[in-house]
Structure 1
Amino acid sequence: MEFNQIDRRRFLAGAAAAGAALPLAAMAPGIAAAADTTPAAGAGKFPFPADTNLRVLITGDAGTGTKAQWAVADAIRDLHSREPFSMALGLGDNIYEMGPTNENDTQFKAKFEDPNHDLDFPWVMALGNHDNSAIFPGDGGWLLRGDEEVDYHQLSRRWWMPSRYYSVRVPEKNPVVEFFVLDMNPVAAMLPPILALTGRRTGSS
């Protein structure tokens, strides 16, 4: 499955230039097409749907590992057995309360993989404020913590987060939908210069 990695600065610049780009795209569609990149193979990923008949599970604020999360996941499994989902969208706050400490953090298993067992399809994940906690749960102040969830993309069959900013077209050929995943945490982060200085994940220099 191919995805488009979105550089944060280029995204903002592109949004400002959208009005000028639309007439250009109408005259020459190929000019406005975003370049595709292919992620490293890593874990053998569950495939994205190849047809246009999609059923998408939307979830968020889920990564607690508690009985409540398991109860919701059990209900999803029951529905999936009768009306199968094609893929899932995770809207953030994936690992409560503070986010993971590294890509091998056992919280990924306890709060994502185990509760979602047998839900074997791609989960397109976005970062939430709890995934970037610095001092207080959900303060969104430590952006580098979110990078651990990006790194986990290489280790999980379900978890799809190749970058902090990316898009996914479904199906890959002749798509009927394109999902854009944006990380809004830098807007509110207490330590925004840290991410810029390291240049991690955003393509900044």
Structure 2
Amino acid sequence: MGILRMEKCVWLLSVLLFAVTNNYAFPKLDGKPSLRFVALGDWGGLPVFPFHTPRELRTASEIGRVADEMGIDFILSLGDNFYYDGVTEVDDKRFQTTFESVFEDDSLEDIPWYVVAGNHDHHGNVSAQIAYSKVSKRWHFPSYYYDLRFKIPKSNATLAIMMIDTVTLCGNSDDFQSQQPEKPLSQEAATQQMSWLKKKLAASQDDYLLVAGHYPVWSVAEHGPTRCLVKHLLPLLKKYNATAYLCGHDHNLQYLQDELGIGYVLSGAGNFMEHSLKHQRKVPAGYLRFYYAELVSMGGFAYLEASPKDLTITYIQADGKSLYQTSLPKRS
């Protein structure tokens, strides 16, 4: 009964957070120097006709509106791009039916997508998703892991993003069994990626340093914290003073922040919505700042704006409501 009461309390807290934060204003196109982007995970439609879900359509439409009214420089695709078994080849029809024909607003035509793979993508042919980068002008997936670096307009401030493959690092997961990746398919590949990541993080002098992958470090929901990432990635985020970690995997919206001020942006509501507090006791007390998983919701995503002063994170529902907003400072 104690756990049930706790779940009800956290659920009520999420409702109150929604009510309190629903009045946040969207950032506006005001001419101020900033870099604006969307973090979107788990948007990958369905493997049967019409190959998309109503939530994906509504979320795509809202991203198009945000791009038109607020501005978007790029989109981070955080994995599970094609449910349930990825794609088979570079000319797989799912690229058209689940991606191109869904995110089709004119305002999205020239916005680049920077992509990582999720566990469902690894059930299929990830190399075909990488190869699709040569087919689509907006699909950018150069390798399993890679880094990005941007200069914030009209300033000397910079933002770096390490795009990592958490399945290669930790192994694939089974949504219907343990839900935890047990071990990488290739320990050599996992070691190589971790070595690359350490070097990149150590060398970064950027004002904002982000790491983006599919599995969460921290999550209160169905899949919960990823033990492998807590063990191997979390110490690096702390050691190298990362600004935030972005992910999907759990099908809801969460914002967590640790005692060092590192933000954990979970944006996995692009296609499904699941309400679960199964792992709330596996997350340190006080970390969870925002949780949204209303089953009647049509999805949502995170909108981030990096200025020379701070990094603002706004969670936006697919019907256009601003759910929660917070900011993180530049690295010291």
Q: What per-residue deviation string (whole Å, max 9, x for no partner) do you get for residues 41-75 of structure 1? A: xxxxxxxxxx9521111101001022221111111
Match of 1:126 in 2: 116
Match of 1:95 in 2: 82
Match of 2:266 in 1: none
Q: Distance in 2 between matches of 1:55 and 1:164?
A: 24
**Residues 78, 179 of structure 1: alpha-carbon distance in 2 compared, 3 angstrom cutoff:** same
Match of 1:84 in 2: 71
Q: Distance in 1 between matches of 2:167 and 2:101?
A: 27
Match of 1:37 in 2: none
Q: Distance in 1 between matches of 2:97 and 2:112?
A: 18
Match of 1:28 in 2: none
Secondary structure at the residue paired with 1:192? coil
Counterpart residue identity of residue 111, structure 2: F
**Residues 161, 52 of structure 1: alpha-carbon distance in 2 compared, 3 angstrom cutoff:** farther
**Residues 130, 163 of structure 1: alpha-carbon distance in 2 compared, 3 angstrom cutoff:** same
Alpha-carbon RMSD across the aligned residues, in angstroms, is: 2.7
Is contact 2:113-2:138 (8 Å) kept? yes
Q: Determine which of 25, 29, 36 is the counterpart of 1:55.
A: 36
Match of 1:68 in 2: 55
**Residues 73, 178 of structure 1: alpha-carbon distance in 2 compared, 3 angstrom cutoff:** same
Q: Mind listing any 5+ residue stretches in structure 1 that lack a counterpart? A: 1-50, 135-144, 197-205
Is contact 2:82-2:94 (8 Å) kept? yes
Instruction: Give the number of equivalent residue pairs.
Output: 137
1:168 aligns with 2:148: yes
1:177 aligns with 2:159: yes
Is contact 2:87-2:128 (8 Å) kept? yes
Is contact 1:52-1:171 (8 Å) kept? no
Residue 171 of structure 1: CA displacement?
3.2
Residue 172 of structure 1: CA displacement?
9.6
Secondary structure at the residue paired with 2:114? strand
Q: Distance in 1 between matches of 2:122 and 2:96?
A: 18
1:188 aligns with 2:175: no
Is contact 2:33-2:152 (8 Å) kept? no
Q: Which one has a bigger Cα radius of gyration?
A: 2
The percentage of aligned residue pairs carrying the same residue is: 30
Match of 1:43 in 2: none
Match of 1:104 in 2: 91
Structure richer in strand, relative to its length: 2
**Residues 157, 122 of structure 1: alpha-carbon distance in 2 compared, 3 angstrom cutoff:** same
Secondary structure at the residue paired with 1:153? helix
1:115 aligns with 2:102: yes
Is contact 1:169-1:175 (8 Å) kept? no
Residue 147 of structure 1: CA displacement?
1.3
TM value normalised by structure 2: 0.38
Structure number with the bigger relative contact order (C-alpha 8 A, sep ≥ 6) is: 1
Is contact 1:123-1:160 (8 Å) kept? yes
Structure richer in helix, relative to its length: 1
Residue 159 of structure 1: CA displacement?
0.9
Counterpart residue identity of residue 41, structure 2: G
Q: Distance in 1 between matches of 2:112 and 2:36?
A: 12
Q: Mind listing any 5+ residue stretches in structure 2 that lack a counterpart? A: 1-31, 46-51, 173-182, 190-332
